Amino acid sequence: MYLEYYGLKEPPFALTPDPRFIYFTPSHKEVMANLHYGIENGKGLIVVTGEVGTGKTTVLRWMLQRFERTTLVAYIFNPRLTVPEFYQYMTKLLDIQNWETKSDLLMALSKTLEARHARGLRTVLIIDEAQGLSPYVLEEIRLLLNFESDTSKYLQVVLCGQPELREVLNNPNLRQLKQRIALRCQISPLPSVLETENYIMERLMIAGCEQPAIFSPEAIDFIYRCSEGIPRQINNLCDNSLLASYSADMSIIARGIVEEVAEQFDMLPTDYTKQFSDTPLMTNVLTPTGRAELWMAGENSAINQAPQSIEENLVAFPIAKGDM
């Protein structure tokens, strides 16, 4: 609805993990560097954690689009699998066929991984939302990491999940798996108002906006406070603020609009106190009766001969919302 109004070619704040809109914060760069290093050097198990909405899936999809053809990836985004379902899903993604028993599967998987490794090819298993994996599936993943040569792993595994994944891996029954973690990294929220402003403006420019400074500084500051720097929360606030501002025919998104949206989505900060809006309304000094009297008194005066109307010459002062 608001795309043409703000000069946009596509929605800039969709909640889907579109890699085209990735914003490279220092923690995102660190995660990508760890993934690249770990996979390229055959490190085995890599664990990536981050709060809900910080962009973990976006990072994974950005990496998936940039792997060479020499890298075969099995990407699992639904971890709620039993052990048989896990193996069925994995072998289908890796195109391993003609097996009936688990021993058949493991033998075929071993041959495939060893053959690929001998040719200099890499095989990667990526599991998103890994905090939802059962202990039984995690134990199977540990055993899969035993496919290795004297110097490197045949299979690289990336477990990506919410902070709860750390608690899962701290389970004493999974201590053997925990000891096999070669690299750990974490995606953090945006650290400041400035980073939030850069994030918002970059997404607007990617979406085609030529004048991306459409959020007032006060609005951006409040977006950061409400979202706590979490990109998904920022997207939700910005998208709905754009819609609300479009409906109000406002070319600049003010803090007042963001406040209304944040209140609707129960995202107001705990220390929130309502402030005056940064987009003042204009109010006339005189009452309607006084204005009419002044108009009648000046009907035959020189001002009546001017090209503009008396209404345009009346003094108006800005007041903030709530002063009336």
- Picking from 194, 199, 171, the residue whose alpha carbon sits closest to that of residue 53 is 199
One-letter amino acid identity for 66?
R
List for the chain the helix, strand, coil content (%; round to 5): 45, 15, 40
Tens of pLDDT, residue by residue over 181-232, are 999 999 999 999 999 999 999 999 999 998 889 999 999 999 999 999 999 9
Q: Domain boundaries in the chain? A: 26-187, 193-279, 282-319
293, pLDDT greater than 70 = no
Report the residue count for the chain: 324
**What pLDDT was estimated at residue 277?**
47
- Picking from 270, 261, 208, 271, the residue whose alpha carbon sits closest to that of residue 234 is 261
DSSP 181-194: EEEEEEE----SHH
Question: Tokens representing 169?
Answer: 């891996």
Rounded mean pLDDT, 94-102: 85
Per DSSP, the three-state class of 140 is helix
Residues of the chain with pLDDT > 70, as a percent, come to 84
167, pLDDT greater than 60 = yes
One-letter amino acid identity for 251?
S
319 pLDDT tier (thresholds 50, 70, 90): very low
- Looking only at the bridges linking them, the beta strands covering 281-284 and 181-187 are unpaired
Return the ∠ at Cα 237 (arms to 203 and 187), rounded to 5°: 65
Classify domain 193-279 at the CATH topology level. Helicase, Ruva Protein; domain 3 (1.10.8)
CB 113 within 8 A of CB 123: yes
What pTM does this model have? 0.79
Rounded mean pLDDT, 105-127: 92
300, pLDDT greater than 60 = no
Rounded mean pLDDT, 301-307: 47
CATH of domain 26-187: 3.40.50.300
Integer Cα distance of 188 and 209 in angstroms = 27
Exposed/middle/buried for residue 221 (C-beta within 10 Å: 0-12, 13-18, 19+)? middle
Q: How many of the other CB atoms lie within 10 Å of CB of 125?
A: 21
**What pLDDT was estimated at residue 303?**
43
Show the DSSP H helices in 75-163 as ranges.
Answer: 83-93, 102-118, 135-144
Rounded mean pLDDT, 82-92: 90
Q: Which residues contact 283 (CB under 8 A, 6 or more apart)?
A: 316, 317, 319, 324
Secondary structure in 3-state letters for 239-289? HHHHHHHHHCCCCCECHHHHHHHHHHCCCCCCCCCCCCCCCCEEEECCCHH
